A and B are shown apart, each in its own frame.
Chain A
């Protein structure tokens, strides 16, 4: 894939090459610093069809500084003739808009960029200077990564989800390093992946970021073609397959039969334990959303658990569908109604509570979230605590007000 995007004749892991970028973006928090660097380089967009401004961190500004930032973004985009997209979190918006495609090189300043590897793209986060160079020249230098492959087999029990598989992988490798796949490609394959829907695949690729990856990848298959490529993608694309004799740096078999729900304790996504150990930890807030778990099937599994039940009086529960499209689908099928009737608050189409844009935690407060990360202070006060879990675990825990095993009976 990288070979095709470069002018090289052959590439191997460790080679540093230059590739042509197909999609790049800037979002509203980065506008000022980007403009400065980009204008220094010349300020001429290499291809206005390949660059976009994304509004997904504070589409509904809550301060005049944020409102000013959005205004600046709109004015600058108009000046440069570049489209502004405000339809939800970019990693899910690529899918609703058909912008990610097999073989495409996608690069920009957002750490969860690897999510689009589930749609067959080479998608990698880069720094601000990199992005300014991409927008000026359309080029990115990169070192071809080694690949770590996970062959996943077995069947998940009800209310054990793809997020739990990701936690399990982080748990297995956390003794090596919090970023055991630093600068690598993580590829997911095997029968469990073949049966998994695109939402779960995106969750797993998204979690590559917490493993330290350059990019994550799932080979395009019939599921991708039927659910995504045929209905959504208009541009041409090329599907690249791992060579049969591909040299993986490491290859791990993961058996998910009998896997139990997992919880990541503060303050690292790799600090993973079984939900059984965490049961009974009292909560102040719950959050269902983010680019890791704001998909339709994430909302649906949570709503199934909440159907006909109410959340505990002592907790707040924020639910944020990742995009406008997902919000509409979840409205049409009654999912959102279940949340509203259960006592949750619904917001929409942005990062929401994950990096603390709403539901900010005070000192000593505790949140169970489907967020990407639980670094110290990410959702508010330094001395607040963030636990991470799957949508099913968050829903069951919202009912009881404490961390609860969704596969158990205690909340029913």
Chain B
């Protein structure tokens, strides 16, 4: 089973896709716009995020325009997992399609996790261990079709012959 181990980057409610990848960078290649993810609210993010780091946000993460750049940009920047109270529908689809796990947690869990906490997450079991505080949490583990798509690394691979 796949573990994601990384540091937490905390964001609030209603983070829209214009914040995740500002529109002025959309015309560039993925590796270039990935250098600007979250720039409007966290100018250091793209620079400092490390492979496997974890974005933890409030409700409606990824609302707004349906640009697939948002999921691709976060993934290329190194984000290994996004945890939120809820997701914008198309962002969620795009993330799963790209093979970027997007998991839902309850309010208490989200509110308890702080910026910089180091988490070890078993994505398919939905278990989280905080190596910073020693707390354990449960997430909604992906099941059925979503689990199958994530297991092979995204929808293009899942639907390839």
Is B88's beta carbon under 8 Å from chain A?
A: yes
Report the separation of the CA atoms of residues A212 and B89 in the bound assembly, to the nearest whole angstrom.
8
**A294 interface contact, C-beta 8 A:** no
Q: Would you call B88 and A179 a contact (CB within 8 A)?
A: yes
A126→B160 contact, CB < 8 A: no
9-residue interface stretch from A15-23, A92-100, A256-264, A335-343: A15-23
Query: Contact mask B12-28 → A, CB, 8 Å, 1/0?
Result: 00100000000000000
| A324: Cβ under 8 A from any B Cβ | no
Once the chains bind, are B89 and A214 in contact (CB under 8 Å)?
yes
Q: Using A130-B97, A133-B155, A182-B63 as known contacts, say yes or no to A17 and B68 having CB atoms under 8 A apart.
A: no
Give a binary string over B32-44; 1 marks a CB under 8 Å from any A CB, 0 the rest. Answer: 0000000000000
Could you tell me if B98 and A141 are in contact, using CB atoms closer than 8 angstroms?
no
Question: For residue A37, which residues in chain B have a CB less than 8 angstroms away from its CB?
Answer: 156
- Residue from the list B59, B65, B68, B161 in contact with A129, Cβ < 8 A: B68
Q: Closest CB-CB distance, B2 to chain A, in whole Å?
A: 19
Of the residues B88, B98, B159, contact of A182 by C-beta under 8 Å: B88
Residues on the A chain within 8 Å of B134, using CB = none
Closest chain A CB from B118 CB (angstroms) = 31
A177–B156 alpha-carbon span in the complex (Å)? 33
Q: CB within 8 Å of B: which of A111-154? A: 111, 125-130, 132-133, 136-137, 139, 141, 143
Q: Is B76 part of the contact surface with A, judged by Cβ < 8 Å? A: no
CB atoms of A125 and B159 under 8 A apart: no
Asked if residues A127 and B88 are in contact (CB atoms below 8 Å), the reply is: no
Query: Count of A residues near B, CB < 8 Å?
Result: 30
Query: Which residue from chain B places its CB closest to the CB of A129 in the assembled complex?
Result: B97
| Chain B residue total in the interface (Cβ 8 A) | 27
Best-surrounded residue of B65, B98, B144 (most CB of chain A within 10 A): B144
The reply to whether B86 and A127 form a contact with Cβ atoms under 8 Å apart is no
Q: A129-B156, A141-B146 are in contact. Are A179 and B63 (CB under 8 A)?
A: yes
A244 close to B (CB within 8 Å): no
Residue pair A179, B60 in contact (C-beta under 8 Å) = yes
B29 to chain A, nearest CB (A): 12
B90 touches A133 (CB 8 A): no
Task: Select which of A18, A130, A137 is within 8 A of B93 by beta carbon.
Answer: A130
B55 at the interface (CB under 8 A from A): no
Q: Confirm or deny: B75 has a beta carbon within 8 angstroms of a beta carbon on chain A.
A: no
Residue from B65, B149, B160 whose CB has the most chain A CB atoms within 10 Å: B160
Whether a CB of chain B sits under 8 angstroms from the CB of A178 is yes
Determine how close the nearest CB of chain B comes to the CB of A249; give it in whole angstroms: 14
**Total A-B residue contacts, Cβ distance less than 8 Å:** 72
Interface check A183, CB cutoff 8 A: yes
CB pair B161 A111 closer than 8 Å: no
User: Which residue of B has the minimal Cβ distance to A213?
Assistant: B89
Instruction: Describe A's contact surface by its main secondary structure.
Output: mixed
For residue A109, CB closer than 8 A to chain B, the reply is: yes
CB-CB under 8 A from A280, the residues of chain B are: none
Query: B145 within 8 Å of A by Cβ?
Result: yes
Contact A178 B89 (CB under 8 A): no
Do B14 and A177 have beta carbons less than 8 Å apart? yes
Q: Is the CB of A16 within 8 A of B145?
A: yes
When C-beta atoms are compared, the residue in chain B nearest to A110 turns out to be B66
Distance in angstroms between the alpha carbons of A136 and B89 in the assembled complex:
22
- A6-48 vs B, CB cutoff 8 Å, 1 = contact: the mask equals 0000000001111000000000000000000100111000000
Contact yes or no, A129 B94, CB < 8 A: yes
Q: Chain B 127-161, CB within 8 Å of chain A: the 1/0 string? A: 00000000000000001111001000001100111
**Separation in Å of the B27 CB from the closest CB of chain A?**
11
In the assembly, what is the distance between CA of A177 and CA of B88, in Å? 12
Which residue of A18, A41, A141 has the most chain B CB atoms within 10 A of its CB atom?
A: A141
Question: Is the Cβ of B14 less than 8 Å from the Cβ of A16?
Answer: no
Residues of A within 8 A of B143 (CB): 16
Residue of B whose beta carbon sits closest to that of A42: B161
Assess whether B68 is in contact with A128, with CB atoms less than 8 Å apart.
yes
Query: With A42-B161, A177-B14, A212-B63 given, is the CB distance from A129 to B155 under 8 Å?
Result: yes
Q: Tell which of B14, B87, B155 has the most Cβ of chain A within 10 Å.
A: B155
- How far is the CB of B54 from the nearest CB of chain A, in Å? 22
A125–B14 CA distance with the chains assembled, in angstroms: 20
Give Cα A35–Cα B157 distance, bound, in whole angstroms. Answer: 17
B39 to chain A, nearest CB (A): 17
Residues in B whose Cβ lies below 8 Å from that of A136:
159
Q: Which residues of chain A have C-beta atoms less than 8 A from B89's C-beta? A: 182-183, 212, 214
List residues of A whose CB falls within 8 A of some B CB: 15-18, 37, 40-42, 109, 111, 125-130, 132-133, 136-137, 139, 141, 143, 177-179, 182-183, 212, 214
What are 17 of the A-B contact pairs (CB < 8 Å)? Answer: A41-B160, A111-B65, A111-B66, A126-B90, A127-B90, A127-B97, A129-B68, A129-B97, A129-B155, A132-B156, A137-B159, A141-B146, A178-B14, A183-B87, A183-B89, A183-B92, A212-B89
Known: A125-B90, A127-B97. 20 other contacts (CB 8 A): A15-B144, A16-B143, A16-B144, A37-B156, A42-B161, A125-B66, A127-B66, A127-B90, A128-B68, A129-B155, A130-B155, A136-B159, A143-B146, A177-B60, A178-B14, A179-B63, A182-B60, A182-B63, A183-B86, A183-B92
